[in-house]
Amino acid sequence: MTTILIVGAGLSSTSLIDYLLEHASENQWQVRLADRSLELAQSKIKRNANGFAFKFDVSDQEERAREVGKADLVISMLPPPMHPMLARECVKQSKPFLSPSYVSPEMQVLDKKAKERGVLLLNELGVDPGIDHMSAMKIIDKIKAKGGELLSFKSYCGGILAPSCSTNIWQYKFTWNPRNVVTAGKGVATYKEKGQYKYLPYQQVFAHPLKTIMPGYGDFEVYPNRDSLSYRSLYHIEEIPSILRGTMRRPGFCKAWNAFVSLGCTDESYVMRDSENLTYEEYIESFLPHDERSVEERFADCIGVSFTDPIMEKFRWLDLFSDKKVGMKEGTPALILQKILEEKWTLDPDDKDLLVMQHQFVYQLNGQQKKITSSMSYEGKDQDHTAMAYTVGLPLAIAAKLILHSKIDLTGVQIPVSPQIYEPVLRELKELGVYFTETEEDCR
């Protein structure tokens, strides 16, 4: 019997657990699910004979060593800062380790010792990062194989509300960590366009979104992510003239969100005085110059629109000009904004999310420039089986199977940019309904 240890039973683990339990009998797997909440872990195992749920404290060194020792493979679904402590134990005991999170500096320092011990630490194996890496590398390698020169690579991804469930004028609800949405874009967005390095400060990130079209879903806008340049080395395209990664939202979102940024509502650097007693309107008024006009009028003036501009309906819909109480002690502007948004942007029981991803490649071959557009979309089934959780969990589950079947022979700290990983994972993802459609055209 082969033992798989999964640490963390949160929402993003659901599809991973379901897949491994579904294939457990045929592969003679035992799935051990560890979490701080025994009830949560038990709810995910669902009395399956091939699963075992138990309460677990990853910070307990003896307990951690004991459970890793029982496992043949370890999958960490913990918060990213907690991955390295589990990975270190896996290296010590020569057990393969998987996670969906970005490779942190603390994880990267384990590379040398992991290689010395012949241990694989496979990270960035979710959706973004994860499926984005694999689907991009498949096409990049194909272009290189036929002698093409890659001139431009643009990659977009977004988690939004499925159109059938879009009941608000923002056409958006939280499908992942709300804090990450509120703080998105902070810092400087760096990318490259036609050989010129570009640096976009936070105050400009949402000001001039790009536009794209997703098959079956229509128009989207895209704001640039913080760091696009690091993907040149990851994808072995160091000399590419143009590269940009961005986040997709429905049209109109960026202009409205930019209002919050320009006012300072996303600031986390200070606590607002007496924040628990502020009304929503007083919270907004805190950022506005004082005069005799209404808060709505001054708000519209500060964000550069008329009082009757349709964009104002987005802010009225959030009750920003109401006498509702914030009710949060020692709240920063960003935390208060998050609380306000969570009242309207939390998924309802019948809501479904939508994941969209698109890559655009321009390459030159035999003197002719061509463009490949590769698009993927997937709608969630319900709140337990969201598109985001499905596309995070499945690549991990498939990769775990490949490792246990000795189909991956890599060691050290890795991400899924090798054909021995991306080819079989993408192939099975397609069978499970997660696939890309490609179009190719000549550039004029």
- For residue 124, which of 113, 115, 137, 112 has the smallest C-alpha distance? 137
pLDDT of res. 328: 92
Q: 3-state SS string over 337-374?
A: HHHHHHHHHECCCCCCEEEEEEEEEEEEECCEEEEEEE
User: What tens digit of pLDDT does each residue of 43-96 get?
Assistant: 999 999 999 999 999 999 999 999 999 999 999 999 999 999 999 999 999 999
Whether the Cβ atoms of residue 351 and residue 165 lie closer than 8 Å to each other? yes
Task: Tell me the CATH architecture of domain 2-123.
Answer: 3-Layer(aba) Sandwich (3.40)
Residue 423 or residue 161, greater confidence: 423
For the chain, domain boundaries: 2-123, 131-253+351-382+437-442, 257-345
Whether the Cβ atoms of residue 12 and residue 35 lie closer than 8 Å to each other? no
Domain 131-253+351-382+437-442 sits in CATH at 3.30.360.10
Do you know the residue count of the chain? Answer: 444
Whether the Cβ atoms of residue 35 and residue 57 lie closer than 8 Å to each other? no
The DSSP code sequence of 243-271 is EEEEEEE-TTHHHHHHHHHHHTTT--SSP
Whether the Cβ atoms of residue 34 and residue 76 lie closer than 8 Å to each other? no
383 pLDDT above the threshold of 80:
no
Rounded Cα distance, 362 and 240, in Å:
10
The DSSP code sequence of 302-345 is HTT--TT-TTHHHHHHTTTTS--B---TT--HHHHHHHHHHHHH
2-123 and 257-345 share one CATH topology? no
The topology (CATH level 3) of 257-345 is Domain 3, Saccharopine reductase (1.10.1870)
Q: Which residue's structure tokens are 């469930």?
A: 165
pLDDT of res. 145: 96
pLDDT of res. 174: 86
pLDDT of res. 168: 82
User: What tens digit of pLDDT does each residue of 247-294 get?
Assistant: 999 999 999 999 999 999 999 999 999 999 999 999 999 999 988 899
Whether the Cβ atoms of residue 62 and residue 56 lie closer than 8 Å to each other? no
Rounded Cα distance, 296 and 293, in Å:
8
